[in-house]
Every structure is written in structure tokens, then in C-alpha cells.
Amino acid sequence: MSLLAGARFSRWYWLALNAGTLFGVVFCAWLTYQSLGNINSLCLWCSLAWAATIVMFWYVTSHNVREGLLPAPGRIGRFQVQ
């Protein structure tokens, strides 16, 4: 809601959010392995949460690269998600 209201956050906030979503993606990968490898069962709601976490990580990372908060080399730095 803050972003929709026009708030501007500092660099450390965006990088911390990026690190948190990266942790979420790693955690989801571990949960996927546990679910499919050990438990042999797949939960629809878990799959939805995994997909949402990956999308959130992709959006936050692309925002940070686009705004110059996260350095990226060459072509990757010029790639922009609109």
C-alpha cells in the first residue's frame, strides 16, 4: 500500500527485500524437494505459494536492477520488465 501511495524507500530496504525473497525461493525449493522427494505428495496451495514467491522474487530483482540498486553486467542490466 505504501508504494501505491507514492512512498519512496531507500536502497537498503530494497536490498533487504531482495534478500528476503531470495531466502523464500531457496526455502520453497527445499519444500518442493521434501514434498516431491520424501513425502511423495503435492499440495495445490503449496504449489500456489511457491509460484507466488518466485514471481515476487523475479519482480523485486528486476525492479532493483532497473533502478540501479543492484548492479548487473551488460545485457542483463539493460533488460527491463515493464
- Return per-residue pLDDT of the chain as tens, 82 residues: 787 888 889 999 999 999 999 999 999 999 999 998 998 888 889 899 999 999 999 999 988 988 888 887 766 655 555 5
Q: What is the DSSP letter of 38?
A: I
Distance CA 65, CA 81 (A): 10
What pTM, to 2 d.p., does this model score? 0.79
**Sign, CA torsion 2/4/10/14:** positive
The set of residues, in sequence order, having a beta carbon less than 8 Å from that of 35 and lying 6+ positions away, is 41, 42, 43, 46
Q: What is the DSSP letter of 2?
A: T
**Residue written as cell 520424501?**
38
pLDDT at res. 51: 95
Give the 3-state secondary structure of residue 37: helix
